Amino acid sequence: MTRVVVAKRVDRGDADLSEITDLARAAGYDVVASLTQTRDEDPAFHFGEGKAEELASLVAREDAGAVIIDNRLGPYQTYNIAQKLPTDTEVVDRFTLILEIFGQRASTRKAQLQVELAELRYELPRAEAKASLAKRDERPGFMGLGEYDESRERDIKAQISRIKNELDSIAEKEETRREQRRESGFDLVALAGYTNAGKSTLMQRLAADLEVGENDDLHPDLDPTAESQDKLFTTLGTTTRRAETGKRDVLLTDTVGFISDLPHWLVESFKSTLDSVYRADLVLLVVDASESLEAMREKLVTSHDTLYERNEAPIVTVFNKVDKVDDEELEEKRAALSALAPNPVPVSGLTGENIEELTERVERALPAWEQERLLLPMADDTMSLVSWLYDHAHVESEEYEGEQVLVEFEARPEIVEKARAKASSLSAAPN
């Protein structure tokens, strides 16, 4: 395990290293020391030159193999800092670290493509910087940026175009699958929220024993529980399972967690995964209620910015991990955040506290069902239609009257329409 020093510069206030430390550990690093600075950004070293020298001394003293800097570094700043450090010490900025974690977690074709796309988008401006530098300076490898290959920019742009086309193709197939699930009577509910908010644990609490994967048919009998490790980015691709909420058939999807201060190009690279949130019938926005009020507020604001940009479904805010918060503190947070999170549902995915209240809220918040009564003749396919209704709707009553069957049920509007068409076909069938 590589020993690392984490560092961060802020313009004002105190630098918080908790998230970058968690990210470093999630990537498999051993964090042995830290360094912070409050000052305006230095164009050459990001930190002041004196602080860069202090960082070098700290790295040497701790025998660290890498420095992880919780800021976005330009290519020249990366080079200049590396020149201050002991030989062969790696310099990793925030976004390089995130991409490294994404690469470790990517197990599906879609996730792997999204990681590759993000890496290329990260590399493109650096290739452009080499191009610009090559025009100004004839020395190869100037500033440690390496030999300039004029074809590299074109290669990156061509690869980006190819990956986007393949991701668009995958997205079209997923949209078709979503519509097929709706036509089968399922409501689609998405879990959204920051990493380590407890989404996977909550999903495990709500889920039935069937999983519906990204590339699977409707009901493959796979691993019955989602991963719920205390680990950032455990869920990089989407995981979809049937949820136990009551009378409605719900498919619950968990996706990659949000994380603060992500550049647009990185969020855009994972847009295909976020489509599962944007195109759901209902979104459960999961927030860690055990965090500070300031952290909860900041994450709610960022989550709303992400969700309301494209999402049209209703959003129910879930205050998770209430087992770590006393009643007085929880009530204070609810009152303080009421404008951002009106009427949140307090739950504990770990203990199961208030899960029943959450499932009831899910059923109330989902798009309204229609009620229908069908009087069916006793024909060869009548019982097949009744069985289909039990699979795709909530049947309230089934009564037999002579040569007819009266079925009362509730269902999504498209299911009611299909049932009427099937019933009409039965009525038209010859005796």
Residue stretches of the annotated binding site for GTP: 193-200, 254-257, 320-323, 348-350
Q: Which residues are annotated as a binding site?
A: 193-200, 235, 254-257, 320-323, 348-350
Assess contact for 29 and 2: CB atoms under 8 A.
yes
Rounded CA Rg of the chain: 27
Query: What is the Cα–Cα distance from 220 to 215, expressed in whole angstroms?
Result: 10
Query: What is the Cα–Cα distance from 55 to 304, expressed in whole angstroms?
Result: 37
Query: What is the Cα–Cα distance from 81 to 46, expressed in whole angstroms?
Result: 8
Assess contact for 185 and 251: CB atoms under 8 A.
no
Query: What is the Cα–Cα distance from 287 to 296, expressed in whole angstroms?
Result: 7
User: CB-based contacts of 125: which residues, under 8 Å, 6+ apart?
Assistant: none
**Strand pairing report for 187-193 and 250-254:** parallel
Question: What backbone torsions phi and psi does residue 381 show, to the nearest 5 degrees?
Answer: -100, 10
Assess contact for 431 and 411: CB atoms under 8 A.
no
H or E element, residue 243: strand 239-243
End-to-end CA distance of the chain: 76
Q: Which residues are annotated as a binding site for Mg(2+)?
A: 200, 235
Amino acid at site 3: R
Amino acid at site 157: K
Neighbours of 112 (CB within 10 A): 16
Query: What is the Cα–Cα distance from 370 to 238, expressed in whole angstroms?
Result: 30
